[in-house]
Chain A
Amino acid sequence: MFLHNFKYELKMVLRQREFIMWLMLFPIVLGTLFKVAFGSIYSNNDMFKSIPVAVVKTSDNIVLDEIFKGLSEGEDATLTITYTDEATAREMLFDGKVSGIIVSGDGASLQVAGKGIKQSILDEIVSRCNMYQAVIGQAIATGDMQKVQDVAKELSKEVDACRDVSPSADNPDVYVQYFYNLIAMVAICGSLTGLHVATSSQANQSELGARKNCSPTPKFKHLSAAMLGSCVAQGVSMVLCVTFLRFVLQINFGGNLFLVYVAAVLSGCLGVALGFFGGSIGRLKYEVKSAILLSCSMVLCFLSGLMMGNIKGVLAEKAPWVNRFNPVAIISDSFYCLNMYSDYRRFITKVIGMVIYTIAFVVLGVLFSRRKKYASL
């Protein structure tokens, strides 16, 4: 009987329109949109690759020469410089061979053919060059060439300041956080399947519940089979979501992909449990409960940074307890910890948090829905 219920519950969930929309299609669409939106800045290599630039010297400027030398030397050179005349430089710029033209004379000026990260970095370099020119000029006057190179390196470091460094040397990309939040959102939207389990087992909430309660199958069997079916279906959607992000969109979740899958499936169960709990309390209509659950899920996603990346940081400063108790933040943090830290201590803490939430929601849901007779239907 358990297997019979489980089989049909699985079928029901996998065929639900809401399930297909929110848990299968939505993450694919949103993930693709994220990828497109962050496309030009997402790739680590693109972002920090040496920027090709043409330098046109209108007069000799030792200071600028030394700065450019400092910026274009070494393995992690910021610029790849081609010294040329103005006409060739323009041709190169229009052909896209360089990202900008730096005209070096008494000072430095920049010509670019568009807007973008590389152009912004070049603009920053040129304005810093002009700023450091006085300092370096002094160093040259005193013959301290080492200082000139140090200042140039300092300038290079400032340009790279936005680069986050991972202690585990996995993917330190700040934008991957959006994809963690996306996975967390898919997990928490699993509350819809949990809600369905709760309402379809309660005689006072659905005709289906009434019919099930008239049968000789004990309620606990209905519930456990339905919960397991929902968790499996949710698990499938989580695995598909991670697989799509990792292998289709090529999002780098770090070295331990197996644990990413484990955390994703577990977070899916948390979502189902949340929905089951929400569905077990009160006697609102299914549609109303589903709207409330989705709204709450979206608020939790917002607070964890799905829509605004820096909100989590603001909350960490102003109200750290929000991140500590927000299940969506716990889920996305688990992926972050897995990716960013070489030891699993923080990841395990987050996983324990998810397990506690899941158990608490299931137990409370069962307590609310265990009654066998109703005062009214």
Chain B
Amino acid sequence: MKPTVVKIDNLVKRYGELVALDHFSLEIKEGEIFGLLGPNGSGKTTTINCLLSLLSYDKGDIEVFGKEMTPVSYDTKSKIGVIMQNVAVIEELSVRENIDYFCGLYVLDKAKRKECVDWAIKFVGLEEFENFRPKKLSGGLLRRLNIACGIAHKPKLIILDEPTVAVDPQSRNRILEGIQELNRDGATVIYTSHYMEEVEQICTRIAIMDKGRKVAEGTKDELKGMIKNSESVTIEILELPEEIREKIATLPHVYETEYDGTKLTVRCSGGRHNLIRILGVLQEAELGFGRVYSELPTLNDVFLEITGKALRDSKE
């Protein structure tokens, strides 16, 4: 059993009348890439700020590396790397100086620090830009610098709060690959995002948040297993007699059918060979059809089914 790196128990944080975190609990094991997924305003950043002891909270306990986390837990803080949602670098310093400055807050030894800075620059691919000032960098490169400043001291726990917001696809892929590489090197990662594709791509375990609460937690397969919909089959068909639709609706695992005159959508819960069975019914009835596609559920479907609203379209 791997040791627990982060333990949040019954955390409550209020901003006046607004409950930002409502009895929120979490446990993250060593070596995980843990995703905190939720719409804007769901409480992800508040959780991170409480975890880092930047924010006071009304109730609950937070332990990091088995010790209570307080603002003066300097020993614990030295093992944490933070990449904030907004870029936090110093405009007046070059790329190298920025990384060296932040690394110097953690690593005192000059020679070791130089090694760390060299590694961080290489890791984020900013070798060509190390003497550039931040304002000369593009959005993607700036994000990479932001990450380098947070990881140069080679922390054991890395917290990334929406690090890919406003980043081009190329930089985003590089960042995501980098996070996985850091994890392979032994770092535990907490990754918050409202981009479900990213979370699905890299996280080994995910907690879905809404309105300050944890609405679901597990691996992506476990989360998808929590909902009724396990497969959606869509068939383009111009003519569908009602008796055929009813016949499809009675097939095993099919729990919902929908036909809008051009497109038939069949939702199934579990089971295999759903597509073959559905197509078999159509062929038997000698009905012609166009394109056919089958979709597995996404985390958005999970969120939709649990909260009744779409993850992507949620507003703060």
Residues of A within 8 A of B (CB): 1, 4-5, 8, 11-12, 15-16, 203, 206-208, 210-218, 372-377
Contacts and interface: CB of A to CB of B under 8 A. Distances in A.
A72 B100 CA distance: 74
Given A214-B54, A373-B55, 18 more contacts: A5-B104, A5-B105, A8-B97, A11-B92, A207-B88, A213-B52, A213-B54, A213-B71, A216-B74, A216-B75, A216-B105, A372-B53, A373-B53, A374-B56, A375-B56, A377-B49, A377-B54, A377-B55
Contacts of A211: 82, 84, 88, 102, 149-150
B1 interface: no
A350 to B, nearest CB: 34
A216 B77 contact: yes
B55 A374 contact: yes
18 contacts: A1-B105, A5-B105, A8-B90, A11-B92, A15-B92, A207-B88, A211-B84, A213-B54, A213-B71, A214-B52, A215-B106, A216-B78, A218-B74, A373-B56, A374-B54, A376-B55, A377-B54, A377-B55
A154 B112 CA distance: 82
B15 interface: yes
Interface in B1-30: 15
A210 B77 contact: no
A12 B54 contact: no
Contacts of A376: 15, 55
A211 B49 CA distance: 11
Contacts of A15: 92-93
A337 B90 CA distance: 42
Contacts of B93: 8, 11-12, 15
Nearest to A15: B92
A219 to B, nearest CB: 8
A137 B74 CA distance: 94
Nearest to A222: B105
Interface in B70-86: 71-72, 74-75, 77-78, 80, 82, 84, 86
Contacts of A207: 84, 86-88
Interface of B: 15, 49, 52-56, 71-72, 74-75, 77-78, 80, 82, 84, 86-90, 92-93, 97, 101-102, 104-106, 108, 149-150
Nearest to A211: B88
A372 B105 contact: no
A198 to B, nearest CB: 15
Contacts of B150: 211
B55 A375 contact: yes
Contacts of A216: 74-75, 77-78, 105-106
A8 B90 CA distance: 10
Given A15-B92, A207-B88, A372 B106 contact: no
A370 B219 CA distance: 42
Nearest to B56: A373
Which 9 A/B pairs are nearest by Cβ-Cβ distance? A372-B71, A207-B88, A215-B105, A15-B92, A216-B74, A216-B78, A4-B104, A216-B77, A373-B56
Contacts of B149: 211
A373 B71 contact: yes
A374 B13 CA distance: 12
A79 B284 CA distance: 127
B108 A208 contact: no
Contacts of B92: 11-12, 15-16
A216 B82 CA distance: 12
Nearest to B104: A4
Nearest to B159: A214
B82 A214 contact: yes
B77 A215 contact: yes
Contacts of B87: 207
A288 to B, nearest CB: 18
B56 A8 contact: no
A208 B56 contact: no
A103 B90 CA distance: 73
B157 to A, nearest CB: 11
Contacts of A5: 104-105
Contact of B80 (A12, A214, A374): A214
Contacts of A375: 15, 55-56
B258 to A, nearest CB: 45
Contacts of B106: 215-216
Contacts of B78: 216
Contacts of A206: 88
A211 B106 CA distance: 12
A376 B18 CA distance: 12
Among B74, B104, B108, B150, the most chain A Cβ lie within 10 Å of the Cβ of B104
Contacts of B86: 207
A162 B33 CA distance: 81
Contacts of B72: 218, 372
B77 A214 contact: yes
